[in-house]
Amino acid sequence: MCNYSKVFIKMKEIIDKSMDIDALECIRVKFFGKKGYFAKQIKLIKDSPLEDKKKIGFIINNAKKEIYEHLINHKNFLENNIIHNDINNDFFDISLPGRYKEYGSLHPITYAIFHIGNFFEKIGFSYVSGSEIENDYYNFDSLNIPINHPARSCKDTFRFDKCRLLRTQTTSIQMRVMRKIPPPMRIFSCGKVYRRDNDKIHSPMFHQIEGFAIDINIKFSHLKQLCYDFIYNFFDRKIEMRFRPSYFPFTEPSAEIDIKEDGNWLEVLGCGMIHPNILKKANINPDIYSGFAFGAGVERLVMLRYKIPDLRIFFDNDIRFLKQFRL
């Protein structure tokens, strides 16, 4: 039987001498690994004389436990040392501001579209999306816009060819929907429209909302009340507003809504009773059904709501502007 106690003392010394965690890990493998010292010793027991077997087994197992504990203690000691050194050596400035995540925000136009959509959904309007690429029929002809109307020329409209164009108004959804859905209906839509315009208050692309309702007995007074409710809701206050007679080929009578801001009347929305010709074109009997329609530019509404003087700022993606709308 070899002199185990000397070996075990030596092992503890080796552990104590190791000064870093990696070295200690190598020692652990050498002593306690599958092919390590203790595994070998345990294998050797079977070759020992019978009377020693029990004793050697006892000694080896006890020492294994004890030395393993010694190793773990030393490991803890080294780890504590590392933490301690890190704290002592690193300058930690507790006055520094904490790290925080910057949260994004919705674009003010997106926010306004959600807000407006919510309003109309709550009062029973269903959302319908339309196509940005339209043909002359749905964008103009179906809406009573005559063939020689200036809006139809290439000067005002982005055209692909003779009959395909980028829609100039979301009113283009009207005929498609009316032909698909039988009355009664309350429809709301919103999306991008395109016109050849570019200045402080016009951009070649902007967003429009469009809504209409068709039922028996729909009157101008329904439209009027809805417009009041919508404008008060959007501006979040009882803003001064007026209905001014106007003209749109697809409504009769037609009106525009102006709101009063700093003493000036500013136009925000077009509306009217759907022209009987349009109902007829959609195979809806105008003697039974009537309807109202309205449309407005979202950018314009948002500009007035937040007193934004230049529309182009919506498209600049300047984070200083956009993050003010974290609502």
Which residues make up the interface to ligand DAH (CB under 6 A)?
Answer: 169, 171, 210, 248, 251, 270-272, 293-295
Q: Quick one: CA dihedral 214, 254, 280, 152, positive or negative?
A: negative
- Taking the complex as a whole, the smallest distance from the CB of residue 258 to ligand DAH amounts, in Å, to 14
- Taking the complex as a whole, the smallest distance from the CB of residue 104 to ligand DAH amounts, in Å, to 31
Structure tokens at 188: 């709301």
Cα separation, 230 vs 298, whole angstroms: 13
If the CB atoms of residues 135 and 169 are measured against ligand DAH, the closer one turns out to be 169
If the CB atoms of residues 60 and 257 are measured against ligand DAH, the closer one turns out to be 257
If the CB atoms of residues 71 and 145 are measured against ligand DAH, the closer one turns out to be 145
* Residue 93, helix vs strand vs coil: coil
Name the residue with tokens 């020693």.
52
- Taking the complex as a whole, the smallest distance from the CB of residue 280 to ligand DAH amounts, in Å, to 17
If the CB atoms of residues 169 and 290 are measured against ligand DAH, the closer one turns out to be 169
If the CB atoms of residues 27 and 223 are measured against ligand DAH, the closer one turns out to be 223
- Strands 185-194 and 126-127, how do they pair? parallel
Residue spans of alpha helices (H) in 90-208: 108-122, 136-139, 173-180
Cα separation, 130 vs 176, whole angstroms: 9
If the CB atoms of residues 108 and 272 are measured against ligand DAH, the closer one turns out to be 272
- Taking the complex as a whole, the smallest distance from the CB of residue 285 to ligand DAH amounts, in Å, to 20
If the CB atoms of residues 171 and 290 are measured against ligand DAH, the closer one turns out to be 171
Structure tokens at 56: 């050697």
Is residue 57 within 8 A of residue 45, CB to CB? The reply is yes
Cα separation, 307 vs 315, whole angstroms: 16
- Taking the complex as a whole, the smallest distance from the CB of residue 309 to ligand DAH amounts, in Å, to 22
CB-closest chain residue to ligand DAH: 295
If the CB atoms of residues 11 and 298 are measured against ligand DAH, the closer one turns out to be 298
Strands (E) across the chain are located at 126-127, 133-135, 164-166, 185-194, 205-215, 241-248, 251-261, 264-274, 290-297
- Taking the complex as a whole, the smallest distance from the CB of residue 110 to ligand DAH amounts, in Å, to 20
- Taking the complex as a whole, the smallest distance from the CB of residue 292 to ligand DAH amounts, in Å, to 7
Letter for the amino acid at 49?
P
- Taking the complex as a whole, the smallest distance from the CB of residue 321 to ligand DAH amounts, in Å, to 26
Strands (E) across 109-263 are located at 126-127, 133-135, 164-166, 185-194, 205-215, 241-248, 251-261
Is residue 86 within 8 A of residue 39, CB to CB? The reply is no
- Taking the complex as a whole, the smallest distance from the CB of residue 256 to ligand DAH amounts, in Å, to 8
If the CB atoms of residues 248 and 289 are measured against ligand DAH, the closer one turns out to be 248
CA-CA-CA-CA dihedral for 202, 197, 255, 229, to nearest 10: -30
